[in-house]
Chains A and B, each alone.
Chain A
């Protein structure tokens, strides 16, 4: 079974600064997808960024980028130029690319990000 671990229950950052959230995972599969989701206090989960295991290039979406280290099974999220609206719970998630558990997302425990003005 796959597992996802987020070792930082809470993180804080000053507005306009950069913060990195950590995520490690365990799988025996070679093809899979990784995601970072954001859950603001309003509760609606929003996809921040995604990465396919076969793509070596790290994904980037505006101020959000990932550092994907497949051999180390690490998938960290970097938020640059942090904004007050970035404050939320961030979840790292894993999904197999195929097989019977294809549709299932496995989530980490989450990291609460606080942004200080």
Chain B
């Protein structure tokens, strides 16, 4: 069974540009989660999508947005990039109806903002 995949592996942008990160969940998983892992700030919850709808959002500005497609894959968009957006962005997927709702993580996209 294929795991969660993310693309690209690395992304280099300059301040003010837009970044688009992509995530494909495990087959059969309808929920996708995005987390930011920034140096010194730990892992922070960004967004949760399920069945195409945004279910919950972390404490991030509106320039962080995303969407979930009918095939349950997801995009994370970061507009007007700032230097502090440099981080590892992790995507996870799950089947939300299960008891533990275990989240399976992808390898991440390393975003560097210059």
A residues with a Cβ closer than 8 A to B are: 33, 35, 37, 42-47, 50, 52, 91, 95, 100-110
Q: Determine chain A's interface SS by DSSP, over half rule.
A: loop
Taking a contact as CB atoms under 8 Å apart, the answer to whether B50 and A103 are in contact is: yes
Q: Which of the listed residues A45, A47, A50, A91 has the most CB atoms from chain B within 10 Å of its own CB?
A: A45
Chain A residues with CB below 8 A from B101, complex form: 33, 95, 102-103
Residue contacts A-B, CB under 8 angstroms, 24 given: A33-B100, A33-B101, A35-B102, A42-B107, A43-B88, A44-B105, A45-B90, A45-B92, A45-B105, A47-B102, A47-B103, A52-B100, A91-B43, A95-B101, A100-B55, A102-B56, A103-B33, A103-B55, A103-B56, A105-B43, A106-B45, A108-B42, A110-B42, A110-B43
How many contacts between A and B, using CB within 8 angstroms? 61
Closest CB in chain A relative to B95 CB, distance in Å: 11
Give the interface of B toward A (CB within 8 A).
31, 33, 35, 42-45, 48, 50, 55-56, 58, 88, 90, 92, 94, 96, 99-108
